[in-house]
Structure 1
């Protein structure tokens, strides 16, 4: 653990947010995760809070730069691929080599920012846990995650003209075809995985993540402020916008990727609108079959699109169900209106029972048997109508009791029980005091009796 000594004479907060250099880490050699400034002898909460705030800010800036270079690499890749598809140049021409070199430079810069981000993350862990040895902040799981992230960001089309033979199955002619395809297809499509950095940027810029009160409340309730929690809150606040952005982004990326995979095997897929049509019917799980992917790359994209479409469909249904549900105030108004209507129907049914009962009595005494049977039928309908109204009133009363109201009732009952218990204790104390007073009065009376006798 930390070998830092706190000096009670140092204020908790530095002047103008600056951090004073007064902490010395005893017996600790400098490392990439510790600052190269002079050793500090004293440290306190204020210094750690200021350092933590600075690390948070630097990590957010580094994450922004990483996303910027990731997007720059993706845009350059799309431009280079589109110019090659339109026949502006070949893969061996100088413009293609120049653009791919820029992609490589942006990729190397991106890898540097990713490494820098994880260095700041380790420093932040050391600051939060008062740890001096940076190796305590790194385990095998974290190393694997960092290596996986670096591998994803390192994938990009290399400069040069490299090709390979691609075998496909034509669903229309039922023949196996081969085509010479640039390796850029294999290395270009995985570059869209870099958009995971957008999730990190959204999390670091979220008010829930940057607000100190939210962090404290989450720590008390054992809630981790990761992207999963931020995404849930965004889906709660703005579900339609989040779903629209997700669906549109996935639709455009999948259409372009499918076109890049299939254009070397079929002229139909060379048209971007045909690829959009195939992605649309796959996303909606319609599957007309007029256009089908031929390569394994295109089939993989179609499978992923179908899975994503099924998930988005479920989310859309859930959002619509929540939007169509009545709010608490609307539910109260709705139940009140229905209750008034049922009360009117109850009174009308009761009046009809009295009315047709009298008519039955009158028909039996003065009328014919046909009139008696007719009025008896009306009387039975009125009785059944009254029973139906009572049943609807019971159902309405059961539906009006929600979990929130049950919790409120339970809370109020608990408060009543607490007050009753307090009053019972007070009554017991008073009874005990009265017993003591009666005992003292009895003793005094006995003394008086003895004195008189």
Structure 2
């Protein structure tokens, strides 16, 4: 019968928390599974690093090609322009390859944890590929001029066609999410020495270890640096987008200068708008509108961070409360001493009527002041370091008594057990 019970217990399914993933089926030893999982995590991290490198290469060559065209150093049909765009295409192809490899290793890691999220894995990979595949292709492709606003400047500088490279370059700005992934991976490896255990604890506490968690950590740990970095990224990327839109649509205008574009973006971000510069193209006005919306949101966010940094912490509040209560206690002692002094002076000058009346009035004033100070001290607990020390000593004394009592009970139990065994 005992063997049947043991078999029944072994045949029952093991209960586990839903947040803690199960292991891989027992087809492989645990050491082999751990080694495979470690290799997959290492390869995924390497793919993220290489993604960031080739994404940065494409962005750098895109900026160089665009600036050379805006400054009229080269034309779109020239060999140099096609060579630069060929380098961008090659780096983009390698970037897409590492995106696929990263998601492949990510899928393998999820299989080790028995997580079945294939549809989410496919959607994330497709979105990332669509974001990174857009880039200026070799050649000089042109499109009809999009909807533009008529003005004095547009009538003189407008062109019948617009190069498609300008609009494709704007979409490459979205590749900056690669740097976010890189920072997230670097900080994750530094924050969590045991990432598997951290994920288990996060599952138990309903915390998601994702990029949002890393952003919260950066905002909590480095608030000023994080806010300044976000502000600089927004201003520089929007300034480049504004310059590209205006330069490709209206070459020779004032907005082809990066400094003028930066000035326009800054005053739009702060919702000021002096009117000395303004976008003329439809694309530039879209960039200006997005900058205004970002300014409305980020300005309040920046001020809230600064205000939060100037708030008092717990130790500072305790020090302020302690100093205030010490000041009240000192005022109460001074008022009591004034009462005693006035009473003594009045009793001493009882034979002199004029002095006696003066000291009597001072005595009652001192009494009223002492009553007011005593009434104020009723609403506050007196904090004294001597009292705190005495309280700590009493707690330690009680703790020692409890430990002694427990040791005495343990000895009694041992003696009882020995007597029972002897019997």
TM-score (norm 1): 0.67
- The alignment partner of 1:111 has SS state of helix
Q: Displacement of 1:288 after TM fit?
A: 2.3
CA distance in 2, matches of 1:359, 1:383: 18
Note if 1:315 corresponds to 2:295: no
Aligned match of 1:191 in 172, 188, 192? 172
Cα pair distance change 1:177/1:351, threshold 3 Å? farther
2:281 is the alignment partner of 1:300: no
Match of 2:228 in 1: 244
Q: Gaps spanning 5+ residues in structure 1: where?
A: 1-23, 26-40, 399-411, 427-453
- By how many angstroms is 1:105 displaced? 1.4
CA offsets 1:26-68 (integer angstroms, 9 cap, x no match): xxxxxxxxxxxxxxx9412222221111100000001111111
Structure 2 match to 1:144: 123
Q: Using a 3 Å threshold, how does the CA distance of structure 1 residues 268 and 174 change in structure 2: closer, same or farther?
A: closer
What is the alpha-carbon distance in structure 2 between the residues aligned to residue 281 and residue 394 of structure 1? Answer: 52
The offset of 1:285, in angstroms, is: 2.7
Measured in 1, the distance between the counterparts of 2:31 and 2:175 equals 37
Deviation for aligned residue 1:177: 8.3
Distance 1:328 1:308 in 2: 34
Question: Quick check: 1:85 aligned with 2:66?
Answer: no
Say if 2:91 is the partner of 1:111: no
Number of residue pairs the alignment of both structures matches: 357
* Contact 2:335 2:370 (8 Å CA) reproduced: yes
Report the RMSD for the aligned CA atoms in angstroms: 3.9
In structure 2, C-alpha distance between the alignment counterparts of 1:319 and 1:388, rounded to whole Å: 40
Residue equivalent to 1:203: 184
Q: Which residue of 2 aligns with 1:66?
A: 51
Does the Cα contact within 8 Å between 1:342 and 1:393 map onto a contact in 2? no
CA contact under 8 A between 1:352 and 1:379: conserved in structure 2? no
Question: How does the TM-score come out when normalised to structure 2?
Answer: 0.72
Q: Secondary structure at the match of 1:166?
A: coil
Q: How far did 1:382 drift?
A: 7.7
Aligned twin of 1:162: 141
Q: Say whether the 8 Å CA contact 1:59–1:117 is kept in structure 2.
A: yes
Aligned partners of 1:168, 1:244: CA distance in 2, in Å? 34
Give unpaired runs (5+ residues) of structure 2: 1-23, 384-394, 410-423
Structure 1, 160-169 or 60-69: larger mean CA deviation: 160-169
Residue number in structure 2 paired with 1:331: 317
Compute the displacement of 1:389 (Å). 7.6
1:396/1:114 CA distance change after superposition, 3 Å: farther
**Structure 1 residue 396 displacement after superposition:** 8.1
User: Larger relative contact order (C-alpha < 8 A, sep ≥ 6)?
Assistant: 2
Distance 2:374 2:311 in 1: 25
CA distance in 2, matches of 1:47, 1:222: 30
For 1:54, the equivalent position in structure 2 comes to: 39
Q: Distance in 2 between matches of 1:285 and 1:381?
A: 60
1:8-407 correspondence runs (5 A): 42-129=27-114, 136-139=116-119, 141-163=120-142, 164-169=144-149, 178-179=158-159, 180-206=161-187, 207-209=190-192, 211-212=194-195, 213-263=197-247, 264-265=249-250, 267-350=253-336, 366=353, 383=368, 387=372, 390-391=375-376, 394=379
CA deviation after TM superposition for structure 1 residue 269, in Å? 0.8
Cα distance per residue 1:73-92 (max 9 Å; x no partner): 11111011000011111111
Q: 1:186 to 1:390 in 2, by over 3 A?
A: farther
